[in-house]
Amino acid sequence: MSERAQQVMEYIWQSRNNGGADTENKLVAAILRIVSENVVNYTAQNDLIVLDKNDLLNLATEIESLS
């Protein structure tokens, strides 16, 4: 899954360099949006979308391990 981690990092850098994320607040918001789109999610019975916490933690570990 390191390909996914690499892609997420590319999206983050694109947001920072070309996407208007020119402040810390905007960059953090962009990161949250990007991650939410790249983590496994499920639709609950009440039509809420639930993000998989374990998948999110795995993604964090994968990003941390990128060289």
pLDDT (tens digit, 9 = 90+) per residue, 10-62? 999 999 999 899 999 999 999 999 999 999 999 999 999 999 999 999 999 99
Instruction: Reply yes or no on whether the pLDDT at 4 is more than 90.
Output: yes
Amino acid identity for residue 45 in this structure:
Q
pLDDT-based confidence at 1, cuts 50/70/90? low
In this prediction, residue 10 carries a pLDDT of 96
Contact 59, 5 (CB under 8 A): yes
The structure's pTM equals 0.87
In this prediction, residue 24 carries a pLDDT of 95
Q: How many domains does the chain have?
A: 1
Range of the domain at 58: 2-65
